[in-house]
Structure 1
């Protein structure tokens, strides 16, 4: 069977559009592994593989791209420092299975169960905790130190020049950018900071020159760790709700009800399996990318095939050794400047979740839930578990579990007659 020139041109157009979609997602996609110590080439591969798996489960009906989730940056950083990468991957794989559990719960009880168990008064402050816990890491890196502040990598004055340029350009592009430029503020900020670093002599290309053009990504496999599972799985509460919002967003853009067809239960299942697949190979958890949804709205092309091509290009780039070597040359202050805005934005997303819900936060029940989630999460509270004193629940995990518990047990306020 021959392929007509019309079909070929249509497919070539899809390929070009798909490559552009990957360009939109690229900055955020590789930012997570660069911040957390995971391999950027593996992240590229698992983003592509996860997107393809998502398309299979949703029958190729939704034009979305899945890639590295910002919500898991804090637990990954903590997990890598505490237990190492393989144990952290075990917790991330379990978080994906939590999505799978939620997908079956939705299949059984309907999508309203998510709003009942995870209302904004729970998810909002949990998202805020994610951003606030990361604030010291961002500041340390912006002034040229390691993420924990234990060592100086770049002199402070030099680091501040670089980080503030990265920050200023990212903010400027997000506010003033037009068209495609507005969709890639992170890439623009990194490029600006990287250029300044070049002039200041902080970038060296010996490793890039030595890296092979073609190489297999450094796949890493999980190692069983119950403590990591207990710490990371509750973090999935916030991005689960975010997933629901992303599906509503792309439904609005494409003027189709993806919540019903292929169904939120299937999109959640696809997201969960894609996250577990990524963790089993050494990549960060996946999530649907709002940047790509914005690009779809801009070009008004709703063919899911363009995301198939974006996934294929991502997987192909993963086998280019020089890509990972080049990304590793980005100085710490460049990433620090981006992180200051990024982690602050995560906190603001949580605040906005509460504001949009229109709840009275001074009402006793809401006040108790929000206050305890934030203070327990940010303050470093940790509690023992039935599995022994060495297995403690703290940080974002404790904040998520506490929020769900309080929401279920605290009585609703009596309505005034």
Structure 2
């Protein structure tokens, strides 16, 4: 059986729209908070963490809710359409609030955007496994991730091109560009994907598949081996620590570049675009490498690259094109980590509780993204903006220490017919 690439592309449009928005959120909202409303770094970091606080509660809720409903349009599609529509309308109020310096309008509109994104984030992610046969989900997930990176690249490119080099830029054009991409992507998805019909076809295919992991034959009441549980604990700690390091850069770099390097307009987006573009180019080679040397070694190599890039970033006292080379290594390192970390978590589970372990993965990654904007923001405000890169360097090294203690979840897969199949764990 072969993967339906055309179908997977259309399914991935939902994730493309999501990634496009979050790239906008991480880069522009901190600038509005700081430059327009004069909010300090600690409070900016706190406000930037709100989306992850909401996500901890709302993503499981709407994901479970979409499991239980059944409409003529499917289980997931209504959430995607409703969430995107509310998000596009409310996000256009944000640049209006910025231009008029109306904080009440800004706070309310941003709250509506974050709520609407939570409505369809989990259903959009669940659409892929719903409409993909079990034995093809790994390959499909690789394509979904690539499309998410394309959405992020689009936003970074628009930031670089559309934001004028002035003290108080008007952000309407960049919000309009991202809103158009989100709306266009979801319209194409709804036209191309008939969820109910496809889900029935896939359900029949899955019923015919009898392949089961040896872990599935174990009694559900059996507890996890202590050694495996210890490895899982260290792996989850590693996930928390490297997200703490990486998210500090992604949420504060726009302010760092404008204040420390005196970059104007959207020039800061170029380095982030290099990191994301390099990650895209690295996915397939890293999939091949991890298939040959194992996931743990590949992740450790990624941590070393990330740590080295954070260390080098500190020495740039002003903007230099060489920073793009540093961020290129950041992108490679992050790709090595992100491609292999989730499969390692799931490797320690049974197929029957993959959802539970997926929840653990996102709990620790989102917790880091709540914690780090607040702590790093406090350091930026009360000590110096120059603490940003050392902060990320320290937490990255700590993730290396915990990762060295992980001794399970590192199976080397059998060589695949397609390199895309190296990206993730077999379902």
Return the structure number with greater relative CO, CA threshold 8 A, min gap 6: 1
Higher strand share: 1
Query: What TM-score results when the alignment is normalised by the length of structure 1?
Result: 0.29
TM, length-normalised to structure 2: 0.29
**Higher helix content, 1 or 2:** 2
